[in-house]
Amino acid sequence: MTIRKTGDWRRAQRLLERGARELGRSVDRALAQEAHALRTALVEGLDKQAPAGHALTPLAPLTIAARQLRRFRGTKVLIRTAELRNALAVIRRASLVFVGIPGTARGRDGHSLSARALAHEYGAGPTIVPITPRMRRFLFALYRKAGRGTSRTGGAGAGVVVIQIPPRPFMRPVLAAFQVGATRRFLARVASDLMGGV
């Protein structure tokens, strides 16, 4: 028994090559769409103060009093200056996509925003800070503003302040929620792109 191949094999090869290119482009576009959707979910979580429905730990009364002393009335967590929220980025390198706060992002104070995000995500401290005379005056004003006496600053002889940042996960809950159905959603995006958005 002999097998005989008939047909336009060059055309078939061209169709297969074109299909592979189109599939690659569709995968790239679907990956970009997923990355931007994740970034949007992260931003919305901060704006609503409940990433993926998990409420952020509210600000301490002393933090609110410190904001008021600096003439800032807002009480939202993690977006006083919007630097963290605005630093959330989608970065594409070859076949990899990064969604988050790049290590190169710096705040107005010159400090790393990714380090700040990490401190808030997992909590930080306790950090012991020596009190300067100027800081002591600020602390007295702060405790008065918060309606607490000045005895909590330690009174005479107290030379340090202990600062602790509670964990306020704003990325992990969103990432966990986003993983649910990710494969199905991604494949649906690829298929929709291949079919011309139908």
Which DSSP helix (H) or strand (E) runs through 38? Answer: helix 9-48
State the pLDDT at residue 112: 95
What pLDDT is recorded for position 95? 80
pLDDT at 6: 66
| Contact of 176 with 127, CB cutoff 8 Å | no
Domain positions in the chain are: 13-123+166-194, 124-165
Please check whether residue 171 is in contact with residue 51, taking contact to mean a CB–CB distance below 8 angstroms: yes
**Amino acid type, 168:** R
| Interval 9-54: pLDDT, tens | 666 666 667 777 888 888 999 999 999 999 999 999 999 999 999 9
Please say whether the beta carbons of 91 and 98 come within 8 A. yes
pLDDT digits (tens, 9 = 90+) for 115-134: 999 999 999 989 999 999 99
Compute how many other C-beta atoms are within 10 angstroms of the C-beta atom of residue 70. 8
Q: Is a pLDDT exceeding 90 seen at residue 180?
A: yes
The half-sphere exposure of 123 on its side-chain side, counting CA atoms within 13 A, is 8
pLDDT of residue 50: 96
The sign of the dihedral angle between the CA atoms of 173, 57, 128, 109 is: positive
User: What distance in Å separates the CA atoms of residue 191 and residue 42, rounded to the nearest whole number?
Assistant: 26
d(CA 51, CA 93): 27
Q: Which long-range contacts (CB under 8 A, 24 or more apart) does 106-111 make?
A: 107/81, 107/83, 108/81, 108/83
